[in-house]
Structure 1
């Protein structure tokens, strides 16, 4: 059954089994991993991975007609909660007051070995 009231923007990776952004009414949802602009994964340190992840989120939201200043909620998945402080330093370069509502969740592993961060965001359309 088709969902005519929900918009799905495809992931740029043709092999992906996830949409890049889904939208319903004025709400957008996106999950991003540390993907470089060329589509390859960044599996370096937490700062590099956080920068790539948040840049991928910024790019996806802008393509969907929104932006980082429209993010309402962010869930941050970290494989090591000791990385939270470093993630927060990068986060503050991408977001400003009023801060989105957010949660940081420690997980045992993510989809790709070596991946240390993933984020899911809910944002308002412009």
Structure 2
């Protein structure tokens, strides 16, 4: 079934079964994991994973015609809620006031063994 009012931007990973960004009426939705610029996963400490995840988010939004200051909502998935403070420290380097609406959710596991953070964002197109 065609969805002419929704635009899906494919993920750069040919094996991915997820779009990188979806757009509907100027609202962008994207989910990002700790992916380095070369496409490999960052599975080191939580700070490194958070930095890679938020940089991947920034890059995806900019490719789609938006930016971090256009994010209206962020859902943060953490495999250990004790990592929330580390995430917040990195988050404050990528975002500024007015802060996006956000939720932090503790989960038992993520898609890859050793992955500790994932984010889903909604942003307005610039």
The TM-score with structure 1 as length reference comes to: 1.00
Work out the CA distance in 2 between the residues paired with 1:11 and 1:82: 31
The TM-score with structure 2 as length reference comes to: 1.00
Work out the CA distance in 1 between the residues paired with 2:56 and 2:11: 11
Give the superposed CA RMSD: 0.3
Work out the CA distance in 2 between the residues paired with 1:13 and 1:93: 27
Q: Secondary structure at the match of 1:69?
A: helix
| Count, aligned residues | 126
Q: Secondary structure at the match of 2:88?
A: helix
Q: Does 1:2 align with 2:9?
A: no
Q: Which residue of 2 aligns with 1:78?
A: 78
Per-residue deviation, 1:26 = 1.1
Q: After the TM superposition, which parts of structure 1 deviate over 4 Å for at least 4 consecutive aligned residues?
A: none
Gaps of 5+ in 1: none
1:44-59 matches, cutoff 5 A: 44-59=44-59
Cα shift readout 1:66-108 (whole Å, capped 9, x = no counterpart): 0000000000000000000000000000000000000000000
Per-residue deviation, 1:30 = 0.2
1:47-126 matches, cutoff 5 A: 47-126=47-126
Work out the CA distance in 1 between the residues paired with 2:77 and 2:23: 22
Gaps of 5+ in 2: none
